[in-house]
Amino acid sequence: MNVYLVVEIKYREFLSRLLIGATSALKGNDVFIGDDELIKLIVNKKLNPGIMLYKSITPIKRRLNQLKNCKKNNCIISSLDEEGGIVQENFKNFVSRRYSNKSLSYTDTVFCWGKFDYSNYTKIFPKIKKKFLMTGNPRFDLLDNKIANNFIKKRNSKKVRVAIISSYMVFARSLLLSDQFTIDKKFKDDYHYDHFAFRAGMTSKYLKLLKRIITEFPKLEIDIWIHPNESIINWKKILPNRKNIKFTTGTKFLAKEKNDNTIFIHSGSGLAFNALLQEKIVISYQPIESKWNKTLPNKNSLIMKSDDEIVDFIKKKKYMKFRIDKKKIAECFKIISNSKSYDASNKIALHWEKFKSEKLSKKNNLSKLIIRNQLRFLKQKLNYKVYKRKKFSPFTKSEISDLRSILVKINPKFNSLKFSLIGPRLINIKKITTNSTQARI
């Protein structure tokens, strides 16, 4: 069976999609993971029918046309929303922007993070509640210590460290702000304007907090977790160039470990859930009274409303006496999973097996696909900005080889899989039918 996994932002979604893809390939499926070019190939019938996984099915004109045409090509459409509504102050408002009866009419299955979004979706769409399935999100599978420890570089220092989990710093946006307020040439909902005003205020507060932390603790290790829509270059223009300040992008791996003196500070980031689930010290910074302080990551964190509280927490080493609130951790698990196990990728792959049919299993012509992607690669190389575009940098042979090696460490069964680099932003995973276990990359 053909399985097509669409990735919008590579360093946010790719690894979780890779885990789903490898799990599905073990079941004998022909898996393709790539950017939105996958959708174009399916719409134009350059790829045969199969299972599709979208990041979202927002009811905008472009997406609705894609969904309609993919269904015309006899594809089974599934969706796993990467926002999940956990950083929204109003879930119904979130749903109105991410779903509609029309977009759901083209969709066969919507995978849910856990009890929180599942119960809300089924209340809002009671007539089609069978389309919603509670599986969990594979991004949280990456928190399993068996997986996370293969990606983490062990930190030898036991000194306190501060990690700022950025969610929307106005100065650091990688796109023009003027491009953020319309969609399909129409004004966005008031939600976007209200949210921008809140984030603009929070940006100034964060900069003052960072200035104070850097000034009062000159040797303190500081990590800035860059949001997918932010630019490291813009961040570096604002903060001083010091060895103790590091900027990181991409998937963040956290393992449960004793004596971790990292203090995570956020103001409503979904990544805060990763830290909460791994029982870290997580502070919700709330210097401004706002409805956005009521989001789920904020509610489950240690709330601090001033710079003084945070500075005092560090200076007086109050983090040494910090105790995990087990009730809050339990609440977090209810939100992202229906159990305390990380097995979303397996649940999703298993669900797709119900659709297995001859119609969805017609093999694609890889030779044509490789030639098409090579031509695409050459065209993009002539346009450096497109080739190096921020949301999805090109795959490399070494990158895919390294990831395959890590997957095999996680699960030796993955050694039976062949990883092929089809193009700069497209890979193929399938089960090897011969005695060879060498990946073609």
Distance of CA 108 to the CA centre of its chain: 22
Q: What average pLDDT does the segment 177-192 reach?
A: 66
pLDDT (tens digit per residue) in 249-261? 877 888 888 778 8
Same domain, 129 and 213: no
pLDDT at 339: 56
Higher pLDDT, 155 or 208: 208
pLDDT at 183: 64
pLDDT at 437: 46
**Which pLDDT band, with edges at 50, 70 and 90, does 338 fall under?**
low
Higher pLDDT, 240 or 372: 240
The CATH number assigned to the domain holding 357 equals 3.40.50
Same domain, 253 and 217: yes
Q: What average pLDDT does the segment 194-223 reach?
A: 92
Task: Determine the Cα–Cα distance for residues 144 and 193; give it in Å rounded to an integer.
Answer: 37
Q: What average pLDDT does the segment 343-372 reach?
A: 92
With the CA atoms of 368, 371, 374 and 379 taken in that order, what torsion angle do they form, in degrees rounded to the nearest 10?
A: -100
Q: Report the number of distinct structural domains present in the chain.
A: 2
Same domain, 108 and 232: no
pLDDT at 194: 82
Same domain, 69 and 174: no
CA contacts within 13 A on the Cβ side of 196: 13
Q: What average pLDDT does the segment 282-306 reach?
A: 93
Mean pLDDT of the chain: 87
pTM for the structure as a whole: 0.89
**Which pLDDT band, with edges at 50, 70 and 90, does 412 fall under?**
very high
Same domain, 102 and 123: yes
pLDDT at 157: 72
Residue-number span of the structural domain to which 246 is assigned: 145-336
Same domain, 109 and 219: no
Closest CA to 256 of 277, 283, 242: 277
Last residue of a domain, one of 287, 312, 336: 336
DSSP 332-386: HHHHH-SSSS--HHHHHHHHHGGG--STT-PPP-HHHHHHHHHHHHHHHHHSHHH
pLDDT at 66: 95
Closest CA to 202 of 167, 153, 174: 167
Higher pLDDT, 423 or 4: 4
With vertex at residue 172, the alpha carbon angle to CA 170 and CA 175, rounded to the nearest 5 degrees, is 85
Domain assignment present for 438: no
Which residues make Cβ contacts (< 8 Å) with residue 85, sequence separation at least 6? 91, 94, 95, 98, 116, 117, 120
Q: Which DSSP letter does residue 129 get? A: G
Q: What average pLDDT does the segment 49-53 reach?
A: 97
Same domain, 332 and 223: yes
Which residues make Cβ contacts (< 8 Å) with residue 58, sequence separation at least 6? 97, 98, 99, 103
pLDDT (tens digit per residue) in 364-376? 988 888 887 777 6
Q: What average pLDDT does the segment 314-323 reach?
A: 91
Domain assignment present for 441: no
pLDDT (tens digit per residue) in 2-48? 999 999 888 889 999 999 999 999 999 999 999 988 999 999 899 99
The percent of residues in the chain predicted with pLDDT above 70, rounded, is: 90
The tokens describing 398, both together, are 């070494």
